[in-house]
Every structure is written in C-alpha cells, then in structure tokens.
Amino acid sequence: MGFDAATISSIANKLRAAVLEMTTAAGSGHPGGSLSAAEIMATLFFSGLLHYDPNDPTWPDRDRFILSKGHAAPILYATLAQIGYLPADELCSLRQLDSRLQGHPDMLRLNSVEVSTGSLGQGLSVAVGMALGLEMAGSDSRVCVLLGDGELQEGQIWEAAMYASQRHLARLVAIVDNNNLQIDGDIRTICNPHSISAKFAAFGWQTFGADGHDPVSLHAALTQAFAQDGAPAVVIAKTTKGKGVSFMENDCAWHGKAANAEQCRQALTELSKCDVSHIRRSEHDAACVTMMKHPSGASHARGAEQSRYPEHQRSNPGDIFPLRTSEQDAVHD
Ligand SMILES: Cc1ncc(C[n+]2csc(CCOP(=O)(O)OP(=O)(O)O)c2C)c(N)n1
Ligand SMILES: [Mg+2]
C-alpha cells in the first residue's frame, strides 16, 4: 500500500460519510472532532505508514494506534470498517445498548481497539507505557496516539510528554488534531495551549507541522516523525472542526450533537455530490443507512465479543461508501 493523495482524500470523505450516518442513526455522538480527523486517520492507515494485518488486529508486530480523544470514536470505527476489522453494517449499531461500538472505544468489546479511551488526557500516558514496553521487549512497533487540542489542557499530558523524552521513546508519535475548538468554545479563550509546538519542543520532543486536511502535507510530516531517532515526535495538524460540512465547520455546537435526517442528507450531498436517494428515513427520523448494508447481507451478532469478522464477509477497502470529493485547506496554531 503506497501513498496516493487522491485516494487518501477519497477515503477520508468515505470515513466522513460513515461518521455522519452512524451518528445520525444513533441520534447522538461526536461529529465535529471526528470530521476534523478524517484525513489524519486516512493518511495514517491507508498510505502504508502504519503497519497492520487487515486479517488480524492482534498481530503482535503491528503498530499501535490509540485514539486518546476517545469521543471521536465514530471516525475510529469508520476506519476499522474500512480496514475490514468490522463489517460496514455494524456501524449502524453505534451507541446502542450492548453494541460493540460504544460512544467511546471499548477494548473489552472490540479487539481492534488498542485501549479504552474517553477520559481525556489518559491516552498519551498509556501510549508511553506501551512504547516503553514494546522497546523493552525488543519490538520495532510504533505507537501512534491522536490527541485533541483541548485535551492538551489536561496536566497528565505533560507528565507523559516529560517521561517520553526522558526515556527517548523515538517510536512514539503523537498527532494533535489542532482544530482550535473544544466542547464549548475556542481553546484560546478557555485555556490557551499555544504554542503547542514550542511546548512539546520544551519537553524534548521533535515537532512537525502539517495541514491536517492535505494528505501530502500530512504524509510528509508523518514520514519525518516516523523517521525520528532518539526522541518522541509530535505532528501538529491544523484542522477545522466539522470539516467538509458547511454548517458544522468551526461551530462547537456540533462537537457532541448528531445531525437529524435532513441535515445528514444535506451533509452527505455536500460531501460527495453522490446519489443519496438510497438513504431512507427510519421510524426515528434517523438517516439509516442502506448504503452501509454489507453486500453479503450478513448480519452481525450484537452483545457478544466477536473475533475478527471473517474475511469472506468483509467489504473491500474503498468499498464502504460510493463517495468521492476534493478537499481544501485549513487553519491555525
Ligand atoms: C477528563 C475529561 N474531562 C472532560 C471530558 C468531556 N469532554 C469530552 S470532549 C471534550 C472537549 C475536547 O476537546 P478537544 O480535545 O479539542 O477535542 P476535539 O476538538 O478534537 O473534538 C470534553 C471537555 C472528558 N471526556 N474527559
Ligand atoms: Mg479541539
């Protein structure tokens, strides 16, 4: 799997469409910070940067990914479905009682989730421990962790950052989704973490900047970060919260609120210019998601821990949604 910017943009928008549909179907969830991370996730997972086995999420030599901003679970689940670790139609079960796809990632329900997250600030500490453990075991695996910029207000982040450089954890790479919004406003007016790169540099990290919606920029920064020797690295990706949906962009009202069916239709149309006529209303006024139904018609068992979804029932990479879009640019740090 090599890097191709157009493919990454296309996959990012498929992931966005999945985020919108699953949160609308659930009637709740976190679209804003999921949409801002779409290119980050697509570039990490679908350009050959992260090493993993699409047939085995527990492959011992895999690189580890931790979604420290666990409220963005929808973009993680969409990515896992795109890899083939989840059947696409399971995405419809987001936030349902006994679903494997809880509102925040649960490693006890889903073996492709490395760490349960949702309590902000903890993911980097877990990543540091994981990177140290892997190094001590003689492993070459990397540990990547995605942080929110509001999350950087947690003191635990900086304890972990300090210890990572103390231990020269060069195979640890953090990415900050720098959308400049948190749950209830602009990070700069609530508790300003800027300059993010100067802070990480002061803690002994190698720092890189990227336009978080430009796969070329992201891929270049991540490649440099992955090549670091002797120190952990952070990529500060400038993004727009709600990216790709005009009425969600830069509006923290969409941090933790799902679109209704009509808004979802509009969003999908904006995203893809694709035919959304096959998205139908459910009884609950949710946009449910015929295009997420798996071609095999196979259903998934809810509630029980499942092993890896059988290969013959998986959708092919690039198959989740018939979407395509071009993307523009981003903002700040
Ligand atoms: C320890 C903790 N405090 C508060 C929350 C509630 N909360 C969930 S998301 C969020 C804002 C996060 O902002 P940011 O990290 O910038 O995320 P993004 O903009 O990427 O969605 C808050 C305060 C939480 N999940 N954990
Ligand atoms: Mg933010």
User: What number is the average pLDDT over the span 145-162?
Assistant: 98
276, 265 in Cβ contact below 8 A?
Answer: yes
Mutate to test the pocket of ligand 1, among 75, 102, 183, 196 (most ligand atoms within 8 A of CB): 183
pLDDT tens for residues 8-37? 999 999 999 999 999 999 999 999 999 999
Distance 72 CA to ligand 2 centre (A): 11
- Cβ contacts of 209 within 8 Å, gap of 6 or more: 197, 221, 235, 236, 237, 238, 333
Mutate to test the pocket of ligand 1, among 30, 39, 68, 69 (most ligand atoms within 8 A of CB): 69
DSSP assignment of 151-205: GGGSHHHHHHHHHHHHTT-TTEEEEEEE-SEETTEEHHHHS----HHHHHHHTT-
What's the pLDDT at 84? 97
pLDDT at residue 318 greater than cutoff 50: no
Asked, as a colleague might, if the bond just before 195 is cis with ω within 30 of 0, I would say yes
Residue 177 in contact with ligand 1 by CB distance below 6 A: yes
Partnered with residue 175 across adjacent β-strands are: 146, 235
User: What number is the average pLDDT over the span 243-260?
Assistant: 97
Question: What is residue 304's DSSP assignment?
Answer: S
Atom of ligand 1 nearest to the CA of 255: 21
pLDDT at residue 282 greater than cutoff 60: no
How crowded is the C-beta side of 157, counted as CA atoms within 13 Å? 25
181, 255 in Cβ contact below 8 A?
Answer: yes
The residue with tokens 């800027």 is 194
Complete domains list, the chain, with CATH = 5-296 (3.40.50.970)
Q: Whole-angstrom Cα distance, residue 109 to residue 253?
A: 30
User: What number is the average pLDDT over the span 38-51?
Assistant: 98
What's the pLDDT at 273? 59
Residue 183 in contact with ligand 1 by CB distance below 6 A: yes
Distance 68 CA to ligand 1 centre (A): 10
pLDDT tens for residues 82-117? 999 999 999 999 999 999 999 999 999 999 999 999
- Cβ contacts of 5 within 8 Å, gap of 6 or more: 214, 215, 216, 219
pTM (predicted TM-score): 0.86
* Ligand having the closest approach to the CA of 184: 1
Residue 104 in contact with ligand 1 by CB distance below 6 A: no
